[in-house]
A and B are shown apart, each in its own frame.
Chain A
Amino acid sequence: MPAITHHIPDEMIAAYVSGSLPHAFSMVVASHLSYCRDCQAALGAHQAAGGALLETGDAVAVEAGLKSRVLAALDSHVVPEPVFEAKGIYPGPVIQRLKGRPPRWKSLGMGVKQDILFEDSEGSARLLFIPAGQAVPDHSHNGLELTLVLQGSFSDETGQFGVGDVEIGDENLEHTPVADAGDPCICLAATDAPLRFRAFMPRLLQPLFRI
């Protein structure tokens, strides 16, 4: 695998560690971390800071019965939580959302397909399938968009993005990503706002396609 050159900013890793990052973005961050030793080191540093704060903070006495309740529960049988591991091109956090099934692609035209994996009031995350050589319509962003490459690669005005690389788009990024030659480009993309497409999809249709 070629070296990862486009990373998650440190502040966003801190927000992921602490849990203040919206769920859709957390999916992308956890997926990028599944490829990237550098960002796992940053993750570990923030976890250590959290651990140091936990240990040095003020203690508050727990209720008298808590310890005996916990000790009594050590042997109780629990159904282990399912563990979602990477499968094929998809890292664990994507498999978790797919619940182990293959993606259910829906056509957006021009060979571009998507599968919306998650949506809540804070944002949405989806898989995008872009045939080699195909451009994703020129778009800019209302909010923040994270795009992580899972297969193939794409290029735009800012550079080339291969497997494990993440592109961070905001209001200032107006770009035309084009899938490079070779395998179709499959990405995990998360956004906190609907995208504004400039070409082939009138804005009125956006709610219909939820893109």
Chain B
Amino acid sequence: MPKDQSLSQLTLWLLAVRDQRDRGAFADMFDYLAPRLKGFIIRSGSSPALAEEIVQDVMLTVWRKAALFDPHKAQASAWIYQIARNRHIDIVRKESRPVPDELGEDPATEPDASQILALEQETVRLKHAIAQLHPDQKEMIVKAYMGHLTHQEISSQTGLPLGTVKSRIRLGLGRLRKELKGLR
């Protein structure tokens, strides 16, 4: 795939690690990701010490599994998010999460670079939608995606209807889902 400036920096780092085993790119990616991962994990209720352990595990997993990263199938931060959740749960529960089989290329679609860009653009829009949330709402959504609250709990704890909390996010998810369907 051509190196395109409109790909996110995170995607470019990940591709350099995947294709060239580039340690410099990995070190830069560490500086960017590790503090964000730590903040994210602490907000799920983990101690800073456990968060450090999980960050180390996630970063090493990213290095070792980089060959599995496929920007046609997942946006870079989405891929890292799922690794972070899986490693967190595996470490806390001491057993492996069930993971779906790969489906391979959809014979009906031929992925190309423009689809990767469309996926990245939808993710940027989703980030903007998240940025516009009230801090309390954002905190709840973070907790939901950290597996800390069920979506039902989110609505009952605040008294807010689920739709109000999530309508912008829901719109973004719908658009992303459409993009992804063209890719899989």
On A, residues with C-beta under 8 Å from B are 11, 14-15, 17-20, 23, 26-27, 29-31, 33-34, 37-38, 40-63, 66-67, 69-71, 73-74, 78, 81, 85-86, 91-93, 96-97
Q: A17-B85, A19-B88, A66-B52 are in contact. Are A58 and B141 (CB under 8 A)?
A: no
The number of residue pairs between A and B whose CB atoms lie closer than 8 Å in the complex comes to 205
Query: Which A residues touch B23, using CB under 8 A?
Result: 71, 74
Q: For the complex, what is the distance from the CA of A189 to the CA of B24, rounded to whole Å? A: 47
Contact B173 A49 (CB under 8 A): yes
Query: Which A residues touch B81, using CB under 8 A?
Result: 47, 50-51, 53-54
- Top 9 nearest A-B pairs (CB, nearest first) are A51-B77, A59-B35, A33-B100, A19-B147, A93-B98, A50-B81, A51-B78, A34-B101, A30-B98
Query: Which B residues touch A38, using CB under 8 A?
Result: 181
Query: Which A residues touch B38, using CB under 8 A?
Result: 59-62
Contact B146 A18 (CB under 8 A): yes
Q: Give a binary string over B38-81; 1 marks a CB under 8 Å from any A CB, 0 the rest.
A: 11101100001001100110011001100000000111111111
Contact A48 B123 (CB under 8 A): yes
Contact B63 A18 (CB under 8 A): no
Contact A52 B123 (CB under 8 A): yes
Q: How far is the CB of A150 from chain B (nearest CB, A)?
A: 13
Contact B177 A42 (CB under 8 A): yes
Contact B130 A54 (CB under 8 A): no
Q: Which of A41, A46, A62, A93 contacts B35 (CB 8 A)?
A: A62
Q: Which of B30, B77, B178, B181 contacts A54 (CB 8 A)?
A: B77
Q: A48-B126, A49-B145 are in contact. Are A63 and B52 (CB under 8 A)?
A: yes
Contact B130 A52 (CB under 8 A): yes
Contact A74 B63 (CB under 8 A): yes
Query: Which B residues touch A41, using CB under 8 A?
Result: 177-178, 180-181, 184
Query: Which A residues touch B39, using CB under 8 A?
Result: 57-60
